[in-house]
Amino acid sequence: MAAPLQDAAPLQLHTVEVDQPLAAVNRLLAGLHLALAAAAIAHRGVHDILLAADLVLLFLWLLSQAPMLRPVSRAAFPGRLSRPALLAVDVMVVTADPDKEPAAKVMNTVISAMALDYPGGRLTVYLSDDAGSPLTLLAARKAYAFASVWVPFCRKYGVQCPCPERFFAGSDQLDGGGGVDHDRELAGDKIRVKNMYETFRKGIEEATKDAALSGSCTRAARQDHDAHVEIIADKQDSNSDGDEDAMPSLVYVSREKRPAWAHHFKAGALNVLLRVSSLMSNAPYVLVLDCDMYCNTRSSAMEAMCFHLDSRRRRADDLAFVQFPQMFHNLSGNDIYANELRSIFSTRWKGLDGLRGPILSGTGFCLRRDAVYGARPSSSQGPFSSMEVGELKTRFGHSNGHLVSLRRTAGSTTGVLPQDATLVASCEYEMGTRWGEEVGFLYQSVVEDYFTGYRQLYCRGWTSVYCYPAPSRPAPFLGSVPTNLNDVLVQNKRWMSGMLAVGLSRHCPLGSALAVSLPQSMGFAYYAFMALYAFPVLCYATVPQLSFFRGGGATSFPVASSLWFTAVFVSSLLQHLIEVSVAKRRLAVRTWWNEQRFWALNAVTGQLFACLSVALDLVGAGGQAVNFDLTSKASDHGELYRDGVFDFAGCSTVLLPATTLCLLNNAALVGGIWKMVIGGGRGDTVSVELFLLCYVAALSYPLLQGMVLRRDPARVPAWITAMSVGMAATLLSLFG
């Protein structure tokens, strides 16, 4: 008698592997460096200011090592997913300034999201326009019209890159392989769709010019406008909600903004999208994208589902989000500004993934809706079903439609009236609720991603995974990086000040070691306190220089400590070089040098001003408004960046400390050597100082070049050079 048939075991949708050799090397290097650092500090004088600098460096280094102890890699297998079993996904794209975020680029992101390889009946794209710009609304309507042709084209021919701008630039070469008739049809369709795209693009460009001439969206109007929600097209004509061939819906959302109401920047915009989408598609998963971070492959949503829907995970119900890396299409081969963020996305996020998951990173993450609503993993099945209506209203507000969405089947839809959507997008809706405090993306920090991931998700027991593509696979998403130094420094200042404010508040990650593991809390704390690099770098950029210039036998590195300092310095450089080379899969000396240089530059610019900003806020002397200037995504002249030349055009006061320290170091180096030649050698007692000054001179050479040697428009502004000369001369006269 035949054995009874049994249900087949579910297929494994993803794999995870700990990189044991790399973990062993990291631990060995960490142990060696710790021993050398402890010996060097032990030989420091108790009253030496450099002792304090060394202790801060050791503190930050210890925090930075937590994500290095257990790096892992993952692989997803979207081909094993059962498409009928896929759950709905809402894609949320956020834009705020049509000047800095051109409509054509934003629409490419929207169109690429609509063309994802996912059942069209279960995919809805929401576009948040915080400026309330008529141009963006017009562009969205045009984008849907083009997408109605582009999406079927992608499905028919298996297009891999769903971003039309990149596709027609030649980034995705379709392989015919279907016979003469098929290839002829493909060639004809490609020309037809390309012509339609050119018409679409030129239409947006003309509308942009008209909007600029008419002044239809002034700065004042962007901060004072009514809510507007428009379903540009929906699925009413589809055969079913799960129809593979259905066109994804596109919904335009412009929340109400008034000067008297705090709008909480990106976090506020995302919370409005959560509420508006709950009235419409109410998908259980939310994919968040910055407006310049377009989909580079059609499989990213499916890859995220490989983790969310894999029942073979040890704890399948505690996964809050899948984080994809941020990668960029306009990176220079000689990335002088370290825009690649290699340390984060190629190294430390893999290590944090070996703990309980990476930090929520602003864009390119697929998130569970109930998790960001404030549920806990243990209550994820109907987490709000047991709450009384009054409690729900206190937490979520008074929209009946939104409250109903909390208890209805995830992904189910109900009829939504325009007034319902505009209500949840109004300024007053959140008043008296827990939005931004316990529900949705949190408002207590300008780095809403970092803070929400840590407080709202990890501290409630959720985990995450990091989906980094294999070397042979294309990047899931591609964004753009700033190519002007001032934009890079201002962006870093905003990040650093937001995270330092969290670190110095009652929400400090080090105080949450009981809610999360100690290594993970250290990993979060490293970024919270990263701005403190400003103090030791500032010390090492002034004290040895003034001591060397002063001469007379005095030195900041006595013989007893000079050998240990040298050993720690070499160990640090070696550890960094190995880390970079492992990430790049080759000996990457140029990347290592660029990161060394920008680390020092950022410490005395963006991080220094972040420390000052947070300090002023703590004593009540800070400004009333948070500086949340967007970096420009508009097409700029990045030739200098691509050629490996620093672009100082438009640099503000944030650059002044770096240029001053550069001149101080070079003046001290020349003056100190002159005194040694004239007055007899101090040889052994100053060899470490001399080496350090030469190293700093090499690091800061682009600054010196920009102040003294260059005459092009992108050199260091003359007023910064003049102020730097005066400040460096003052320091040398007072302390030299």
Torsion angle in degrees (nearest 10) through CA of 670, 673, 678, 683: 170
Q: Which stretch of 288-292, 409-413, 683-687 has the lowest confidence by average pLDDT?
A: 409-413
For 429-465, how does the pLDDT look when each residue is reduced to its tens digit (9 = 90+)?
A: 999 999 999 999 999 999 999 999 999 999 999 999 9
pLDDT confidence of residue 218: 78
pLDDT confidence of residue 240: 45
| pLDDT above 80 (res 383) | no
Going by DSSP bridges, is the β-strand pair 14-18/72-76 parallel, antiparallel, or unpaired?
A: antiparallel
pLDDT confidence of residue 145: 96
Mean pLDDT of the chain: 90
Distance CA 249, CA 227 (A): 20
SS3 322: strand
- The single-letter code of the amino acid at 385 is S
pLDDT confidence of residue 1: 43
Q: Which stretch of 180-184, 486-490, 561-565, 633-637 has the lowest confidence by average pLDDT?
A: 633-637
pLDDT confidence of residue 139: 97
pLDDT confidence of residue 172: 66
The closest of 673, 659, 664 to 735, measured between CA atoms, is 664
Q: Tell which wins on pLDDT, 11 or 147.
A: 147
Q: Tell which wins on pLDDT, 165 or 558.
A: 165
Which range of 216-230, 274-288, 631-645 scores highest in mean pLDDT? It is: 274-288
CB 165 within 8 A of CB 103: no
Catalytic: which of 129, 130, 172, 318?
130
Annotation says 130 is catalytic: yes
pLDDT confidence of residue 408: 72
The mean per-residue pLDDT over the stretch 15-28 comes to 96
pLDDT confidence of residue 348: 97
For 286-309, how does the pLDDT look when each residue is reduced to its tens digit (9 = 90+)?
A: 999 999 999 999 999 999 999 999
| pLDDT above 50 (res 241) | no
For the chain, the distance separating the N- and C-terminal CA atoms, rounded to the nearest angstrom, is 98
CB 321 within 8 A of CB 365: yes
pLDDT confidence of residue 553: 57
CB 142 within 8 A of CB 107: yes
| pLDDT above 90 (res 381) | no
pLDDT confidence of residue 173: 64
506 contacts: CB under 8 Å, gap ≥ 6 = none
Tokens of 613: 């900003």
pLDDT confidence of residue 237: 47
Which run of H or of E encompasses 319? strand 319-323
Distance CA 497, CA 503 (A): 10
> What is the gyration radius of the CA atoms in the chain, in angstroms?
28
CB 38 within 8 A of CB 259: no
| pLDDT above 90 (res 13) | yes
pLDDT confidence of residue 317: 84
CA–CA–CA angle 502, 507, 510 (5° rounding): 95
Q: Which stretch of 375-379, 429-433, 489-493, 496-500 has the lowest confidence by average pLDDT?
A: 375-379
Distance CA 485, CA 655 (A): 9
Catalytic: which of 97, 290, 420, 449?
449
Q: Tell which wins on pLDDT, 44 or 707.
A: 707
| pLDDT above 50 (res 625) | no
Tokens of 549: 């210039």
Which run of H or of E encompasses 16? strand 14-18
The mean per-residue pLDDT over the stretch 105-134 comes to 96
pLDDT confidence of residue 624: 45
Distance of CA 614 to the CA centre of its chain: 21
pLDDT more than 90, % of the chain: 76
Distance CA 685, CA 557 (A): 7
Find where tokens 């996020």 sit. Answer: 349
pLDDT confidence of residue 680: 63
The closest of 600, 707, 726 to 651, measured between CA atoms, is 707
| pLDDT above 70 (res 279) | yes
The closest of 101, 144, 137, 128 to 216, measured between CA atoms, is 137
- Report the 10 Å Cβ neighbour count for 42: 10
For 177-201, how does the pLDDT look when each residue is reduced to its tens digit (9 = 90+)?
A: 667 788 889 999 999 999 999 999 9
Helix residue spans in 4-133 (DSSP H) = 20-42, 49-65, 103-114
